[in-house]
Amino acid sequence: MNLDTPYQVTPDQISRFQRDGYIKLKNVFDAATLDYYGREITELVLKLNPQTKPMHERTTYEKAFLQVINLWRHSAVVKEFVFSRRLARLAAELMGTRGVRLYHDQALYKEPSGGLTPWHADQQYWPLATAKCCTVWVPLQATPLAMGPLAFSVGSHCLTTGRDLEISDESEKKISKLLLDKQLPQDETPFDLGEVSFHYGWTFHRAGPNTSDRPRRVMTVIYMDVDMRLAQPRNKNQERDWHNWCPGAVVGEIIKTPLNPSLYER
């Protein structure tokens, strides 16, 4: 299990991440590691998933994926994965911070016939004072185009327009037009087994529908600068996130709560 051994990134890869707003890295985990932790993650998703509506009755957001947050609080095995120093160190090195702490984890399982995940930027939901935050997206299986891998708008983390849009049909329509107008390239490619991606909180991304006969199983961890301060929430989503995932944090102060431990410091 290679959860804590360093994964070597080059200065060029760090520069590309900061320029493009995302990066995909191959062979971060081996098959045995993904199988071991994937079985526990899947068991928890099936147990804790709150979605009971049939697909045809769901909203666009609900069709996109089954979402279960902070699995690390329900399983010592999943906690080992979420607290991986290998991943946390990568996040700190890519962002150029002295360390990172946990914002929260979330499993994102796209069922067979699950719909598209519309264009959006994650930080619309996060009450964080700076852009020094990112998500690692870890597919638990090889993810061909038919399963709906994550797609990125290259360099879109530098845009400020569209950041107020939550995931919806409206965000898909408006951000699609914005990115076309800005002539930003899109990277939509399969993920090999063991390949993961990191993307900034303000990077626009989406995922296609799952047209395969298997669920697209993905585990994510969201990292923030170890010195990140809580921002005054700018919308209802950020207000909700503050109380759910950073309870007790104070606006203007470092988000240092029991749910937001430091995962790596240089």
Separation CA 266–CA 255 (nearest Å): 18
Three-state secondary structure call for residue 253: coil
> Rounded CA gap, 176 and 173, in Å?
5
* Mean pLDDT over the full length of the chain: 96
CATH superfamily of 11-265: q2cbj1_9rhob like domain (2.60.120.620)
Distance separating alpha carbons of residues 141 and 213, to the nearest angstrom:
14
Residue 133 pairs in a beta bridge with 224
Q: Which amino acid is at 83?
A: F
Residues 6+ apart with CB under 8 A from 131: 123, 157, 200, 201, 202
For residue 178, the SS3 value is: helix
What pTM does this model have? 0.95
Residues 126-152 have pLDDT tens digits of 999 999 999 999 999 999 999 999 999
Q: Give the three-class secondary structure for 193.
A: coil
The residue among 108, 112, 64, 141 whose CA lies nearest residue 211 is: 112
Half-sphere exposure of 78 (CA within 13 A, CB side): 23
Residue 215: C-alpha distances to residues 91, 110, 113, 162, 175 (Å): 27, 6, 9, 30, 27
For residues 43 and 112, what is the distance between their CA atoms, to the nearest angstrom?
17
Sorting pLDDT into bands at 50, 70 and 90, what band is 76? very high
CB atoms within 10 A of CB 22: 26
At residue 47, the pLDDT reads: 94
pLDDT at res. 65: 81
176: left (phi over 0), alpha (psi -120 to 50) or beta: alpha
Which tokens go with 108?
Answer: 């994102």
Residues 180-207 pLDDT 10s = 999 999 999 999 999 999 999 999 999 9
In this predicted model, what pLDDT tens digit does every residue of 7-20 receive, in sequence order? 999 999 999 999 99
How do the domains of the chain map onto residue ranges?
11-265
Q: What is d(CA 12, CA 15) in angstroms, rounded to the nearest whole number?
A: 5
Q: For 16-37, how does the pLDDT look when each residue is reduced to its tens digit (9 = 90+)? A: 999 999 999 999 999 999 999 9
Assess whether pLDDT exceeds 80 at residue 101: yes
The DSSP code for 202 is T
Assess whether pLDDT exceeds 80 at residue 64. Answer: no
| Structure token digits, residue 90 | 């990568």
